[in-house]
Structure 1
Amino acid sequence: MKAFVVSEHRHPSKIQTSYDAPPPKVGKNEILVDVFSVGLNFFDVLQAQNKYQLQPPLPFVLGTEFAGVVSKDAVIPKGCSFKAGDRVFGAAQGAYAEQVSVSYLQLLPIPNNISFDQAAGMSITWPTSYEGIVGRGEAKKGDWVLVHAGAGGVGLPAIQIAKSLGCKVIATAGSKDKLDVCRDLGGADFGVDYSKDGWQKEVMKITGGKGVDVVFDPVGMLIPSLKVAAWKCRLVVVGFAAGTIEKIPANLILVKNVSIVGLHLGAYYKKEPAHPITIWKNLFKGFASGALKPVVFDGVYDGLEAISQGLQDIEDRKTWGKVTARVREEATGRVIEGKVKSKL
């Protein structure tokens, strides 16, 4: 089997695709899935270098997000509703391979109007964005919502979800091209370049001096965002893509009567396992109605051989939306022997 195997910890750019990896072992309640597309994430870069909080023992197959079909060779566990040939997506260690073994409880059906490329990047980003905007941010119709890194993997879904609620959305990004993505593909009402000094003044002008009611922050910009926080603003901590974990002065929280709340999606599956089911039911309604639509980066990464380039482009911030790589041809199911064909 062809797979992206990490035999020793190193940067993905220094790892060659293996053509003789052993097939995945299928455990109890697991199903064998033929992988068609995979979602690329920055944490994969970290995991390959032994810098991530979740580290499988060496050697291991890199990757978590995938979309594909239930293999014809799959043994269907008792109580499982999936059957061979069903289009599915999910998350499991070892996704960067021709096949992956995953618990059927972690699989979801791909909606008819969603492609393999789109589905490959949905399992982590979309529920994170939904819970951040709806659950933790408590956004409602008429709210001003500030989405940092709006052109990113969780940013674009966050924009769409906030707009579907009737919110007014201000998206931030670090370039004109990415701000265009926020508006054209995400639906943001306004775009602000947060790499420029004084971006907060622009936000305050847009909101008529009121400030924003919700801040969705996957970057690590809570302290500068407090300058644009309205009375009783909810600031949602999603991540620290900028690399710095902030130490927030408590007096600033007190003065504006704001709330700062954290979001760790993975913990729900242990603490509140019923909650992710509710999240997905609401997301599927949005996908079916067309109010929500997964956005995939238009650089084409064909074949497992192109994954290292895709991860490098993510690390270099050359991408937007969700970055995916194609493992099989959607029409035939044949494994792709390809190279990156990026439009960058």
Structure 2
Amino acid sequence: MNSLQAFEQVLDDRESLLSTDNMHLLRSHLHDINLSTNPNLHQKSHNSSLPVEILHQILYTSDIATLTTLSTVNRTFQAVSEQVLYRNIKILPTQKTIRCLQTLAARPSLAGLIRSYEIDDITKEGDALPAFYKLLSRALHNMTRLTDLTILIEGRHSDILFGCPFNLRTLTSSLSWDTNFTKWMLEQPDITNAIFCGRYVVGCALEPTAITKLTRISASPLILAAVVPGRPLEEVEVCLVHPGLFNQNLLSTTMKILSFSTGPLHSLRVITNLGNSSQNILGALRTVSTTLSTLDSFFLHAVSGSITS
């Protein structure tokens, strides 16, 4: 299937979503640039009056293979397809991740299209060379419009983020919560939603002026203790998945920490393994209601175990 046939298929799939006038305009545009009958393809397509907004409407729901094919139709299709392709980059297999990073490091114009970016921990398949972190850093420094970052790389590699030009709203990170990480937090004042699942390094403190707009967080008690006090947290998810962490003393201490939110806190979710007796579980849960009077909702997610066993 060539690029124009691919676009015809996309039109057939999306016909019910478009007005008659828009569909007629698209069919007319497709006729104008038909490769088999028009030797002046690039000149005519360049002068086409097809609104880019309509192309966005059509291509936004197309799959990656279709978008890649359509990007070869002409410059207009290429520009719109690239905007859709690079707007949200999900987790890729390791080899595709490397190729993608090489492209983003070499072509700032493409990296500048990215709004959300996800990368998995490639060290699951073996140690990563220093060159990988340098490549990742170059690519991230080209993502000028990034607002949502998911970086599931574990370890003390936060220095690759220093000086990145983006302004995040949402962050999911497995990087170690160390001095470099907390220092980098000062560069991202507009984060409102964060999931911190990295290892906490004892003694690392967060500056009072860092991430002061944070309203939603998911983290372990140690990281919550560093983040929650003095910040407007409204929704908190406490990660207590390690066996034995769900007990009355620890939960009571965690609830006292959460009470220092200036939110006020109105939603709490606890993720845990229920390995204790029902009596101990209920005793631990009782500390929630006695400490946090502002809660509107409470959720208990048991990874394993049962409250009735």
Give the TM-score taking structure 2 as reference length.
0.28
Q: 1 or 2, which has the higher helix percentage?
A: 2
Higher strand share: 1
Larger C-alpha radius of gyration, 1 or 2? Answer: 2
Report 1 or 2 for greater relative contact order, CA contacts < 8 Å, sequence distance ≥ 6.
1
